């Protein structure tokens, strides 16, 4: 009998890894009561903090700071430094957002120009702590899940709070997820004419912010099929995970518990005044919770 290939070699053997493998085997087995036809094998993945590092700030925030304000992201590691840094920059960042809007208006940036700008930046920008490109800081265990699902005829979708046009320039190469399977936040756009050609220009007005219920509504609008698997890491992913939850689904919450190899922080939003704790939802609804420190043999993608 030949050797069985491990589809998730960067995962330690345990409940979460076995849960993922068992789920895939059951939904792909035509003799299983849990068999799911190929067209209904939909899996949704949050991006920041689920597929790629999101500290000290999300990649898109780092892009805005460097592109529009010529500012580098500081590596604030201690809790007290992070609080001081956040308080110091909160007002500045608010005005920076306004500057971004003015930039879009003044320059008349098109969606194609924005994606091209992102592609140039992501190809060379380095993370302030790890001193390597952001795309090298995708999580190897999650890349294996994406590949494993794809091999078993799942349709993988990225559902992100970042703008879709920020992720699309690198989603295919990095995740093997095509641009039409990236669902994200967006700015308003308008059809304009430039040099007698029609272009789509960005406007400094939010159109959709993909968090909480918005993720569910956008999935329903774009796919019209309820996912059978969902992966997230924060309070903003709770509704997507809850909506996916049923008697036989796979819901996975990534818990950042490794301050040495990555970062350690709560899955709750910074300011939460009501509602259940994210980990309480996971326990009540029997979601799998990834303990990053103990469940993952390695954190970041393998060198190519």
Q: Residue-wise pLDDT tens for the chain (304 aa)?
A: 456 899 999 999 999 999 999 999 999 999 999 999 999 999 999 999 999 999 999 999 999 888 777 766 666 555 445 444 444 444 444 444 445 555 554 567 899 999 999 999 999 999 999 999 999 999 999 999 999 999 999 999 999 999 999 999 999 999 999 999 999 999 899 999 988 999 999 988 888 899 999 999 999 999 999 999 999 999 999 999 999 998 899 999 999 999 999 999 999 876 555 567 999 999 999 999 999 999 999 999 976 5
> 């050797």: which residue's tokens?
3
The answer as to whether 4 is a domain residue is no
The answer as to whether 9 is a domain residue is no
The answer as to whether 241 is a domain residue is yes
Residue 29 has which token pair? Answer: 């087995």
> 């300011």: which residue's tokens?
271
Q: Distance between CA 85 and CA 64 in Å, rounded?
A: 17
The answer as to whether 113 is a domain residue is yes
The answer as to whether 1 is a domain residue is no
The answer as to whether 52 is a domain residue is yes
The answer as to whether 50 is a domain residue is yes
Q: Distance between CA 99 and CA 132 in Å, rounded?
A: 28
The answer as to whether 10 is a domain residue is no
**DSSP-derived secondary structure letter, 275:** S
If we measure between CA atoms, which residue out of 256, 232, 287 comes closest to residue 47? 232
Residues in the chain: 304
Q: Distance between CA 131 and CA 72 in Å, rounded?
A: 13
Per the structure, how many domains does the chain have?
1
Q: Which domain holds residue 43?
A: 15-295
CB 281 within 8 A of CB 238: yes
Residue 181 has which token pair? Answer: 């399977």
Instruction: Identify the CATH number of the domain in which residue 44 sits.
Output: 3.40.50.1000
**DSSP-derived secondary structure letter, 133:** B
């Amino acid at each position: 009998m030949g050797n069985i290939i491990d589809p998730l070699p960067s995962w330690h053997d345990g409940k979460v890894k076995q849960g993922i493998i068992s789920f895939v085997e059951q939904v792909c087995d035509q003799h299983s009561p849990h068999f799911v036809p190929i067209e209904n094998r939909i899996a949704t993945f949050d991006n920041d903090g689920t597929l790629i590092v999101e500290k000290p700030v999300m990649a898109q925030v780092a892009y805005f700071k460097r592109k529009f304000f010529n500012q580098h992201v500081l590596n604030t590691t201690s809790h007290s430094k992070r609080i001081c840094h956040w308080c110091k920059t909160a007002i500045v960042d608010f005005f920076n957002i306004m500057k971004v809007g003015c930039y879009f208006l003044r320059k008349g940036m098109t969606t194609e120009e924005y994606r091209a700008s992102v592609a140039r930046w992501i190809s060379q920008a380095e993370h302030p702590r790890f001193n390597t490109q952001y795309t090298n800081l995708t999580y190897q265990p999650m890349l294996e899940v994406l590949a494993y699902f794809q091999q078993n005829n799942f349709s993988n979708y990225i559902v992100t709070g970042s703008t879709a046009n920020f992720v699309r320039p690198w989603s295919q190469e990095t995740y093997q997820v095509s641009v039409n399977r990236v669902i994200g936040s967006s700015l308003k756009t308008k059809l304009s004419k430039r040099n007698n050609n029609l272009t789509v220009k960005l406007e400094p007005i939010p159109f959709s912010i993909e968090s909480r219920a918005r993720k569910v509504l956008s999935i329903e609008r774009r796919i019209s099929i309820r996912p059978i698997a969902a992966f997230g890491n924060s309070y903003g992913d709770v509704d997507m995970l809850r909506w996916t939850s049923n008697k036989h689904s796979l819901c996975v919450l990534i818990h950042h518990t490794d301050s040495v190899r990555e970062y350690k922080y709560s899955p709750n939003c910074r300011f939460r005044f009501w509602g259940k704790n994210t980990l309480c939802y996971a326990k009540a609804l029997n979601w799998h919770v990834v303990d990053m420190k103990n469940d993952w043999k390695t954190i970041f993608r393998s060198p190519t």
